[in-house]
């Protein structure tokens, strides 16, 4: 069985083609809903052109883009996205499944009637995949914008939050990522020349600058817009980060700016390790707990896990691939 | 003597016409440099059209717009702004004075040679005015985007920071304001239904939404863009603030959202009172200390002052008016 599956985020649309346990295709396309939602149909058409749609047996859909401020409410967002999908996909006459936040597969019509079930269910796909292999563990997925921390207990997903709101309360969702996060949302102050320095609250620099400066990501991994619309060279990243303390690269040295970047990285790791601790405490694990890390920012999750004395193992999977596996497994 | 004075911010350009101690004209125009810097000359021409330029004896200039990410470095920003000003103003043959961060009045040419002296000097104008009246005190100006906390000791401005970077270190500049501040830069979590809830790090809602919801500002005082480009009604403000915890107005009640707004207000007041304490400790005042509050967000400064046991008195002045007085006084 061959499945085409979509994970439609506010900033990136990811898709995969899986056949059995094999991944034939995987990709991520920068598509910011808040700028281009009316081109979403064109995006889908472009993606379908690139794959051999005739060989596909079923199509899977999961999303978080409904939270984008392109939409006034989540139900408006879910319905918009499903309507466009239905329009584009109808002529291919394939089974279409929408993942729900209780791990069921809904038809488009069912999902439209239960928009809150279809909203932000994508975080469940990878934990479902991992839960088939392990009994007790935590899966941490650090993406461009957000981090998911999902407990697996007795071989089942033991997440307490269903909606994103609940997940923000339980520590299972932390709105921090390695590319798009405004550094002003991570830190209130940073050290400059040994002095604690308040930061600007503007959108001057993002974590993609931080990790470019530190060499944690390569230039081709900087897959989002820059805060100021300028380029992605290390010097341009340093100029943006300097602006966060109302300075510039004339005023601060490379060492100063690297020091700021290191501090922001440390604080972001603490955001993640705080979430891990909260999830661990609530799950009340008995016996060995394995931590699996995935996503473009898995290196942060690994350090966060180590800081609380756990060992983390990397796995290479994402929600669109896992959703494909899930459909192969159940259908 | 009649002076036209400009306070050119990144988001708003303020101007005033003063004659002796009288204010003949004052205005603030939303002009975001990061979107429209190439129209800055047109803005100046429009402003000059509205006043009687022939009666003006001198023109004053101060700025913070050089920090806008319209410019790669501050000196680029200062030079751009001064060049446009020179082009527009040259034909009127008036004396033009640029305020420096050591309270001197420079010619445009002098300012171009010392861009760091002209950068972000506007915060000194109001303290200079107040320092003529009082011996020991603190002046707090809460604007749309930033808050200045300036000590006056023995009748002189006793600020320790010269550049914005130094002022962020000394507590004399806090990058928090009552309209444009991203709420995610103020709080990491907010209470929802009694539960601590992490917030989204996106630019979903600003303090203008918070103070509209709480009734602290009127609709016509919401003088900035909304985060999502939608309207400024109370319902639209509530929708934006709900999105900060990945919720919407279907999921949260008015009471829930008002509770979030109150909490953000409390935290913003703490940002300001922390700054006041730091400035007070460093100034090491002897005797009575008066606190003066000004700016659109003076109500926050008043509460912050009261929370540390001080009494605050409101004064109605802004940097463009104070710069006008300063030029009348010295020239």
Give, as one character, the DSSP assignment of residue A286.
-
**Which tokens hold the place of A46?**
């472009």
pLDDT, average across residues A38-46: 97
Fold for the domain defined by A134-317: Nucleotidyltransferase; domain 5 (3.30.420)
Cβ of A245 within 8 Å of Cβ of B69? The answer is: no
Question: Shortest CB distance from A185 goes to which of B201, B227, B246?
Answer: B201
Tokens 């409390």 correspond to B266
For residue A195, list chain B residues with Cβ-Cβ distance below 8 A: 169
Query: Residue A311: is its pLDDT beyond 90?
Result: no
Cα of B230 to nearest chain A Cα, Å: 9
Report d(CA B23, CA B30) in Å as an integer. 21
- Which chain A residues touch B230 with a CB distance below 8 Å? 72
Which residue from B75, B196, B197 is facing A250, i.e. has the nearest CB?
Answer: B75
Q: Is the model's pLDDT at B286 over the cut of 80?
A: no
Mutate to test the interface with B, among A248, A270, A297 (most CBs of B within 10 A): A248
Return the sign of the alpha-carbon dihedral for residues A265, A270, A273, A275: negative
Q: pLDDT-derived band of residue B198, with 50, 70 and 90 as boundaries?
A: very high
Residue A43 has pLDDT above 90, yes or no: yes
pLDDT digits (tens, 9 = 90+) for B124-147: 999 999 999 888 999 999 999 999
pLDDT class for A173, splitting at 50, 70, 90?
very high
A285 pLDDT band (50/70/90 cuts)?
A: confident
Q: What is the pLDDT of residues B38-60, one digit of tens each?
A: 999 999 999 999 999 999 999 99
Average pLDDT over every residue of A308-318: 92
pLDDT in tens, B302-320: 999 999 999 899 999 999 9
How large a percentage of chain B has pLDDT more than 90? 92
Alpha-carbon distances of A256 from A85, A171, A186, B182, rounded to whole Å? 48, 33, 18, 26
Sign of CA dihedral B28, B33, B35, B40: positive
Q: Do A245 and B168 touch (CB under 8 A)?
A: yes
* A211-248: pLDDT as tens digits: 999 999 999 999 999 999 999 999 999 999 999 999 99
Closest CB from B173, B186, B246 relative to A168: B246
Question: What does the mean pLDDT of chain B come to?
Answer: 95
**Residue among B169, B182, B249 whose CB faces A184 most closely:** B182
Chain A residues touching residue B34 (CB < 8 angstroms): 228
**Among the listed residues B115, B27, B296, B164, the one whose alpha carbon sits nearest the alpha carbon of residue A247:** B164
A273 Cα to chain B: minimum distance (Å):
14
What is the location of CATH 3.30.420.190 in chain B? 135-317
Q: Which chain B residues have a beta carbon less than 8 Å from that of A120?
A: 246
Contact check, Cβ <8 Å, B169/A250: no
pLDDT at A287 over 80: no
- Optimal mutation site among B10, B160, B225, B248, interface A, most CBs of chain A within 10 A: B248
φ and ψ at B247, to 5 degrees? Answer: -120, -175
| A227 chain-B contacts, CB cut-off 8 A | 69
Q: CATH 3.30.420.40 spans which residues of chain A?
A: 2-120
Mean pLDDT of A99-124: 95
**pLDDT higher than 90, residue B173:** yes
pLDDT in tens, B80-95: 999 999 999 999 999 9
**DSSP track, A38-97:** GGHHHHHHHHHHHS-GGG--EEEEEE-GGGSTTSSSHHHHHHHHHHHHHHHHGGG--EEE
pLDDT tens string A182-199: 999 999 999 999 999 999
CATH level 2 (architecture), domain B135-317: 2-Layer Sandwich (3.30)
Domain boundaries for CATH 3.30.420.190 within chain A: 134-317
State chain A's maximal CA–CA distance in angstroms: 64
Confidence band of B194 (pLDDT split at 50, 70, 90): very high
Tell me what pLDDT residue B285 has. 86
Tokens 């602006």 found at: A243
State the CATH class of domain A2-120.
alpha beta
Nearest Cα to B131, choosing from B157, B94, B108, B100?
B157
């Amino acid at each position: 069985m061959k499945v085409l599956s979509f994970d439609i985020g506010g900033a990136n649309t990811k898709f995969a083609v899986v056949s059995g346990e094999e991944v034939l295709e995987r990709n991520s396309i920068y598509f910011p809903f808040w700028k281009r939602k009316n081109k979403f149909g064109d995006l889908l058409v472009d993606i379908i052109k690139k794959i051999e749609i005739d060989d596909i047996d079923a199509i899977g859909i999961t999303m978080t883009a409904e939270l984008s401020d392109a939409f006034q409410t989540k139900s408006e967002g879910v319905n918009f996205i499903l309507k466009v999908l239905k329009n584009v996909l109808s002529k291919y006459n394939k089974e279409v499944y929408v993942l729900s936040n209780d791990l069921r597969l809904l038809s488009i019509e069912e999902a439209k009637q239960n928009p809150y079930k279809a909203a932000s269910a994508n975080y469940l796909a990878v934990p479902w995949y991992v839960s088939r292999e392990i009994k007790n563990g935590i899966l941490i997925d650090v993406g461009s914008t957000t981090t998911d921390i999902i407990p697996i207990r007795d071989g089942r997903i033991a997440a307490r939050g269903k909606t994103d709101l609940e997940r923000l309360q339980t520590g299972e969702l932390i709105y921090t990522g390695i590319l798009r996060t405004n550094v002003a949302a991570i830190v209130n102050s940073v050290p400059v020349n040994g002095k604690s320095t308040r930061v600007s609250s503007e959108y001057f620099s993002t974590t993609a600058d931080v990790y470019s400066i530190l060499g944690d990501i390569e230039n081709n991994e900087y897959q989002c817009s820059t805060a100021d619309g300028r380029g992605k060279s290390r010097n341009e990243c340093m100029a943006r980060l300097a602006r966060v303390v109302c300075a510039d690269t004339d005023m601060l040295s490379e060492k100063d700016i690297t020091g700021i970047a290191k501090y922001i990285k440390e604080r972001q790791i603490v955001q993640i390790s705080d979430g891990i601790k909260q999830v661990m405490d609530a799950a009340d694990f008995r016996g060995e707990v394995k931590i699996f890390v995935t996503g473009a920012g898995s290196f942060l999750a690994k350090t966060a896990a180590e800081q609380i004395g756990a060992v983390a193992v990397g796995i290479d999977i994402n929600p669109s691939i896992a959703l494909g596996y899930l459909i192969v497994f159940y259908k």
